[in-house]
Amino acid sequence: MIIDSAISIIAVSILSVAILDIWQRLSHRVGGLPPTDWAIVGRWLRASIEQRKLFNHPLQAMPAYPNELLIGWMLHYLVGFFYVVLYVILWKTFGILSPTWADGLIFGVLSVAVPWFFFLPAMGAGIMGRKTPQPGTACLSVLAVHSVFGVAIGLLLRWI
């Protein structure tokens, strides 16, 4: 039973993050919204570990690290895994969520706090992307992909 649950969580994690990525690519093709640059995320992680600080890295001016794109993608899927684990804990332990599209949407909308208030500032884009050329678009783009991600988690947990 525990192994089945672990395999299910891993499967839901991979599939829900893949759905997020597909949505982001479609949004880029249809609406011109730039997808996340996972190389810069990998560069941020390496710089954060080496310099022992999370913020204020001149990421655009820094030379590329070897394998930073792979590192960024791995971090992306690892973070997705932790989101799914949190969803399962909120569902199975606390009964706060259930595996439905509606609860998934609520979870996705609430989960946007992490990129708005941690990852965007850590990447140098400011809180809620205020240092980007189009802060409103950046905020809405992150909200959209996290909403899709949350719905995917809710539906996949129901299905798997």
**pLDDT tens string 151-160:** 999 999 999 8
The model's pTM: 0.93
What whole-number distance in Å separates Cα of residue 42 and Cα of residue 65?
8
Q: In sequence order, what DSSP letters do the residues of the chain get, joined into one string?
A: -HHHHHHHHHHHHHHHHHHHHHHHHHHHHHH-PPPP-HHHHHHHHHHHHHHT-SS---TTTSPPPTTHHHHHHHHHHHHHHHHHHHHHIIIIIT-S--SSHHHHHHHHHHHTHHIIIIIHHHTTS-GGGTTSSSHHHHHHHHHHHHHHHHHHHHHHHHH-
Q: Is the separation of the CB atoms in 160 and 8 below 8 Å?
A: yes
Over residues 32-69, the pLDDT tens digits come to: 888 899 999 999 999 999 999 999 889 989 999 999 99
Q: Which of the residues in the chain have pLDDT under 50? A: 1
> Under 8 Å CB-to-CB from 86, ≥6 apart: which residues?
none
Predicted local distance difference test score (pLDDT) of residue 96: 97
First to last CA, the chain: 14
